[in-house]
Structure 1
Amino acid sequence: MSFVEYSDEIADGDVAVVYLGRESTMAVKVRRGGRTQTRYGAVRHSADLIGRRYGAKVTCGKGGWVHVLHPTPELWTVTLPHRTQILYAADIAAVTLMLELKPGSVVCESGTGSGSLSHAILRSIAPTGHLHTVEFHQQRAEKAEEEFAEHRVAHLVTVRKRDVCKDGFGVTGAADAVFLDIPDPWEAVPHAKAALKARGGRVCSFSPCVEQVQRTCQALSDHNFEEIGTLEVVLRVHEVRTVSLPLPDFGPRVAPVPEAPPLPASDHAAAALKTTTPPRQMPAHTGYLTFATKPRT
């Protein structure tokens, strides 16, 4: 099992994702002899998981069942233990696209936090790229390093405990892209420029407040970055449901043409239609994504 390579069977030591239903998942460290309690009963690791194929339907102790899924960055985002606020799928998709990440890319990230974006970056740059991620909090840095090893992506990432605004990334002239998720990103702009390769590169800053965006854009402009722009990703989910709509009454019914069969009586009263409806309330703002390009020199 690896977050960047697919395995067919669940093995001892894997991290598997137990899917209990819509919007309900949990990450499980598979251990021989271990047990995991769910609302449907216990899942026995030796008997129910090890040797089974990923995606299998597993019956629990109380007779209910769950699916056991191979871990992916998307599933990790919704199951990981939160140590900080994290980025979710909509923002992550925009970041990986706009930073032009691909296999072999070298990326610098600050801060690591809970590792939600880190795993998506690693999947994008594998098998030959490398992620240099910086976290100023000692315990968070150690926990992230432990998780990368457990998820078998440690060979693709270097974790550094340091203050990026003062000490930089520890990388010079090598990065294809830089991502900043820190309170004062404008202070790290000079270090981002130094980390980027000489022949250009992309930088992204994630900030929840527009005042942070203004100062970051000014810093980027002062350091001669080009194509500076900010976007906000707002995810609006529509629910598909069946509705019953009454049909208008146009008076006495006209006799049907011979080729057309008569309509059932129920069809004169209402029609059932599939439609989509947006939520009346929804979380919208997460943060602003500011992108810029280092000029080629």
Structure 2
Amino acid sequence: MSNPFKPDDKAVLLDSKKRRYLLDLATDGEFHSHAGFVRHNDIIGQPEGCVVRSTKNGEYTVLRPTLEDFVVAMPRGAQVIYPKDLAPICMFADIGPGDRVFESGIGSGALSMTMLRYGAHITGYEIREDFANRAKANVRGFLGEEAMGRYDVHIASSYDGIDPEHGPFDRVVLDLPEPWQVVPHAEHVLRPGGILVAYTPSITQAAQTREATKGKWIDARTVEVLHRGWHIDGQAVRPDHRMVAHTGFLTVARFLGKNR
């Protein structure tokens, strides 16, 4: 039996309708739902992919959560960036192992843990201490203690500036109401050729960010990512009735250097 579940492991239960339930396994713990309850002890010691039954004979398949599972179900204080945008942000920002990233507006930590998973070193500014603590707890809970050595969170506002002692940075990633206010500060800590990505809910915010990236920036663009699933059941093939359409706009630009 390879890598059986242990106490304190995270697990995802999938029911017959493919609904997902995130658990932190504990000795003598219980998961309760409309279908009765499942004892954690029935999962602990079992391999991934095992099937357990509730007290009302509900059937659940037990898996280890993916990052997508965790981001959607994790505890949160602020609204998270959803998986459909997390992956494009990391691609547009070209996040890779060892990259030094300045992140502002860390919220519940969804973007942080995604970039840390890519191997980045993150300096984060967050104005709310409760959000910062929640983000650190989520990162530690999913990625483990090792990731915390690459995650340096400060209670600070990037609107007021970015401490040069925290830089220089290869990337700047912003999830803020007014990212254009941070662009001039980013120019003092971002290396030439570095990339800025800003996530904004409205197109007017994106437009103001684009305006701020004129002069010392190049290759600016704004993208919206739409996510549509498909129903496939034998020969019955059609788009799902529901889709994840607008969540936000991603604005990307590359820095030419502050002497330009």
- Find the counterpart in structure 1 of residue 159 from structure 2: 165
Shift of 1:207: 0.8
- Find the counterpart in structure 2 of residue 133 from structure 1: 124
Which consecutive unaligned segments of at least 5 residues does structure 1 have?
A: 1-6, 243-273
Corresponding position: 1:20 with 2:12: no
Q: Give the one of 223, 239, 253 matched to 2:231.
A: 239
Q: TM-score, normalised by structure 1?
A: 0.77
Shift of 1:179: 1.0
Which residues of 2 match residues 1-297 of structure 1 at below 5 A? 8-22=3-17, 24-45=19-40, 47-125=41-119, 129-151=120-142, 152=144, 153-168=147-162, 172-196=166-190, 198-222=191-215, 224-241=216-233, 274-279=235-240, 282-295=243-256
Question: Which SS does the other structure have where 1:27 is aligned?
Answer: strand
Question: Which SS does the other structure have where 1:293 is aligned?
Answer: strand
Mapped partners of 1:147, 1:280: distance in 2: 32
Provide Cα deviations, 1:113-136, integer angstroms capped at 9, x if missing partner: 1222222112111xxx31222221
Whichever of the two has the greater Rg, that structure is 1
Task: Report if the CA contact (8 A) 2:75-2:138 is conserved.
Answer: no
State percent identity of aligned pairs: 30
Mapped partners of 1:220, 1:133: distance in 2: 21
Provide Cα deviations, 1:198-249, integer angstroms capped at 9, x if missing partner: 3421110011111111111111114x1111111111122222245xxxxxxx
Question: Which SS does the other structure have where 1:58 is aligned?
Answer: strand
Task: Report if the CA contact (8 A) 2:16-2:59 is conserved.
Answer: no
Task: Report if the CA contact (8 A) 1:132-1:169 is conserved.
Answer: no
Mapped partners of 1:191, 1:21: distance in 2: 51
Question: Which SS does the other structure have where 1:146 is aligned?
Answer: helix
Q: TM-score, normalised by structure 2?
A: 0.87
- Find the counterpart in structure 2 of residue 270 from structure 1: none
Shift of 1:169: 6.3
Distance 1:241 1:207, change over 3 A: same
Shift of 1:290: 0.4
Provide Cα deviations, 1:171-203, integer angstroms capped at 9, x if missing partner: 64432221111001001112323332x342111
Task: Report if the CA contact (8 A) 2:74-2:138 is conserved.
Answer: no
Mapped partners of 2:118, 2:133: distance in 1: 23
Q: CA RMSD in A?
A: 2.3
Shift of 1:286: 1.3
* Counterpart residue type for residue 108 of structure 1: F
* Counterpart residue type for residue 14 of structure 1: D
Shift of 1:50: 2.1
Task: Report if the CA contact (8 A) 1:169-1:191 is conserved.
Answer: no
Shift of 1:280: 5.3
Mapped partners of 1:285, 1:182: distance in 2: 17
Deviates more, 1:199-208 or 1:274-283: 274-283
Task: Report if the CA contact (8 A) 1:136-1:163 is conserved.
Answer: yes
Which consecutive unaligned segments of at least 5 residues does structure 2 have?
A: none
Shift of 1:281: 5.7
Shift of 1:294: 1.3
Question: Which SS does the other structure have where 1:190 is aligned?
Answer: helix
Task: Report if the CA contact (8 A) 1:172-1:194 is conserved.
Answer: no
Mapped partners of 1:155, 1:207: distance in 2: 29
Number of equivalences: 254
* Counterpart residue type for residue 218 of structure 2: E
Mapped partners of 2:66, 2:125: distance in 1: 22
Distance 1:59 1:170, change over 3 A: farther
